[in-house]
Structure 1
Amino acid sequence: MTTPTQQLSAQGVSIWLDDLSRKRITTGNLADLIVNRNVVGVTTNPTIFANAVSHGEGYQDRVAELAAAGANADDAIFQITTTDVRDACDIFRPVYDATAGRDGRVSIEVSPELAHDTQATIDQAAQLWNTVDRPNAYIKIPATKAGLSAITETIAAGISVNVTLIFSLARYAEVIDAYLTGLEKAKAAGHDLSQIHSVASFFVSRVDTEVDKRLASIDTDASAALKSKAGIANARLAYELYEKEFSSDRAKALVDAGANTQRPLWASTGVKDPSLPDTLYVTELTAPGTVNTMPEKTLEAVFDHGVIGGDAVTGAYADAHAVIDGLASVGIDFDDVTQVLEDEGVEKFITSWHELQETVAQALASAGGAR
């Protein structure tokens, strides 16, 4: 008997945990998830670190050390987060080695306050990469307009990138172009393309939350029939675009030169509507060569009762297009939906970042250090 997470892995889906804390590292929890839940990577973001630090999670001694050294909140955050990611990278190093760098990855995000500043994002991405100093790190850069050039230049420098906060197909096409341009520049600079990896994080449940709110205000039979279908349809069309773009002559030339494709990653896969199956954004987005990054609650639901079939994506493109067309027919401006979600996504991460700064400042002050 195989477990649902084993079955998911066998379908070519890489299972990553959408969470990290010092406690997970020191208690052996991460190592256990690798063995017993088929977890092969970790993603972090400002919200995750804010939650971990605010709940203690084993940071008290480190905060006391930093306070004694006179660190301010931003310095302390940088030290805490890069240490956690470095230590998690070491735990996942055997996975990284066994998969030739495909998995065993741990992501750390540039400050969300830099989301609209290209050069500052490029600079901090390099700083994070050099400080973590592990080949299996990923630097997360948001797919804002300003982020696109930062993605290109970071890839060009030979740094692996997790592109985050992707909601629209139009922006995803720009992300793929930014990645390919970065690879072309990296090749020209003499970098080993085989050592550069990237994933494109396409958000799912947040799309349904926003679209379903708008459908409810329309309140017709046609709008009701589209409830909770937009997120999966949008992600399936992202995979269709991925297949198309990485079959192009341009992409093939880079792959022939040793480059890796930029895998689609399904993010925001925790179900927010309690009326929906809690494994929905995993089972319905099973496809080879993808990553699904799950909060622990979703991971445990999949392990406990997930029903994993075969490829649930590539045969469903026509239905996915019909859903998006249906949204337009009932008056939903999907371009507006995705722009609102991008703007809100950046703002939410900035809010979490400020909460993290305040939490750490208070902890430093309590330990006798500087704010």
Structure 2
Amino acid sequence: MSTPTAALAAAGVSIWLDDLSRERIESGELAELVRTRNVTGVTTNPSIFQAAITRGAGYGPALAREAAAAASADEAILRITTDDVRDACDVLREVYDATGGVDGHVSIEVSPELAHDTEGTIAQALALHAAVARPNVLIKIPATRAGLPAITAVVAAGVSVNVTLIFSLERYTEVIDAYLTGLEQARANRLDLTTIHSVASFFISRVDTEVDARLAAIGTDAALALRGQAALANARLAYNLYEQRFEEPRVRALLAAGANRQRPLWASTGVKDPSFPDTRYVTELVARGTVNTMPAATLEATFDHAIITGDTVTARDADARAVLDALAAAGVDFGDVTRLLEERGVAAFVDSWADLTSTVAAALAPALTH
């Protein structure tokens, strides 16, 4: 019997797991999710690693080795996280090979402390790529102003990139341009474009959380009727933009040279508002050629009871624009929403990175004092 995740995959959506831990890898659970839940990729971020290491999740021996080697917290974090990502890449390697590199990727993010440091981001992205040393690793770079030229430089060096923390259509346009420019430079450098992959991670639930809070504060019937619509409208317009941009002559020339499209990826797909279905950001964002990266709970909910009805994105751009127009008429400044969400997203990852560093430093401290 076909499962909802199988139906989602058949509809052209790549299912990636937005979670990783050493325990999940070593127990065989990740491989099992590939086999039974149609998982074809993994994404990570500082919050995920912080949670995994704080829980323990099989990191005791690794931390003991790092302590015995008198490693600093930063050195230990680099080795532990790149080891996890390398091992996950090996689990997904068969998927990568079978799909010609379209799927089978595992993402690792540059330090969020570098979000406004172009040169620092470039240097760490290249270092992470070299440390993992697997063709199916994606280096996550935030779509900040400083991140845009870093995306171009890293892609130009032949490194595959997951562009993260995208909230606005305006910034998404700049992300696409940064990727295309990087491909053009890679082609000029005579690199093999077929080996360079990218996804553009458009964040979903955080948009509704912020917009719905503003609608509640406005409190009119017209405002309250718009609850839960902003994120889907924003994502559908992003997909429409993707379709348009990747048909341009500039892109066709790159595709003819072997380049890959930068696929839209729906991130932050766990539903925060309990009044909405827990699979809302899965079933309402079905479109061929997209990725949906799901927290473990959302993945299980999708497998258990999601109803996949086919494409729920394409040709809905007019309705999506009407939603954004209605939000503006109700008094919601959507540009302010997306600016704030980018700032908060960076700050949250910086906080998680600080917590991770503190946790690891505390684990190393007893050995370092002897």
Q: Distance in 2 between matches of 1:246 and 1:141?
A: 21
What 5-or-longer segments of structure 2 have no aligned partner? none
- Counterpart position of 1:136: 136
Q: Does 1:369 align with 2:353?
A: no
Give identity over the alignment, percent. Answer: 66
- Counterpart position of 1:228: 228
The structural deviation recorded for 1:316 is 1.3
Q: Does 1:293 align with 2:312?
A: no
- Taking structure 1 as reference, are residues 234 and 370 closer, same or farther at Cα in structure 2, changes over 3 Å only? farther
- Counterpart position of 1:114: 114
Q: Distance in 2 between matches of 1:365 and 1:292?
A: 39
Q: Distance in 2 between matches of 1:180 and 1:51?
A: 35
Q: 3-state SS of the aligned residue for 2:291?
A: strand
CA offsets, 1:148-199, max 9 Å, x none?
Answer: 0000000000000000000000000000000000000000000011110000
- Counterpart position of 2:30: 30
What 5-or-longer segments of structure 1 have no aligned partner? none
Over the aligned positions, Cα root-mean-square deviation in angstroms equals 0.9
Q: Distance in 2 between matches of 1:109 and 1:155?
A: 15
CA offsets, 1:109-167, max 9 Å, x none?
Answer: 00000000000000000000000000000000000000000000000000000000000
On the 8 A contact 1:361/1:370 being kept in 2, the answer is no
TM-score, normalising length from structure 2? 0.99
The AA in structure 2 aligned to 1:61 is P
The AA in structure 2 aligned to 1:301 is A
TM-score, normalising length from structure 1? 0.99
The AA in structure 2 aligned to 1:369 is L
Q: Distance in 2 between matches of 1:325 and 1:144?
A: 26
The AA in structure 2 aligned to 1:87 is D
The structural deviation recorded for 1:335 is 0.4
- Counterpart position of 1:15: 15
The AA in structure 2 aligned to 1:214 is R
Counterparts of residues 204-243 of structure 1 (less than 5 Å): 204-243=204-243
- Counterpart position of 1:150: 150
More displaced 10-residue stretch of structure 1: 150-159 or 310-319 = 310-319
- Counterpart position of 2:198: 198
- Counterpart position of 2:247: 247
More displaced 10-residue stretch of structure 1: 315-324 or 29-38 = 315-324
- Counterpart position of 1:338: 338
- Taking structure 1 as reference, are residues 225 and 132 closer, same or farther at Cα in structure 2, changes over 3 Å only? same
The AA in structure 2 aligned to 1:20 is L
- Counterpart position of 2:124: 124
The AA in structure 2 aligned to 1:289 is G
On the 8 A contact 1:209/1:272 being kept in 2, the answer is yes
Q: Distance in 1 between matches of 2:272 and 2:247?
A: 35
Q: Distance in 1 between matches of 2:51 and 2:100?
A: 32
The AA in structure 1 aligned to 2:357 is Q
The structural deviation recorded for 1:83 is 0.3
Q: Distance in 1 between matches of 2:35 and 2:258?
A: 30
The structural deviation recorded for 1:324 is 0.5
The AA in structure 2 aligned to 1:164 is T
The structural deviation recorded for 1:315 is 2.4
Q: Distance in 1 between matches of 2:369 and 2:96?
A: 38
On the 8 A contact 1:163/1:201 being kept in 2, the answer is yes
Q: Distance in 2 between matches of 1:296 and 1:69?
A: 34
On the 8 A contact 1:66/1:369 being kept in 2, the answer is no
- Counterpart position of 1:284: 284
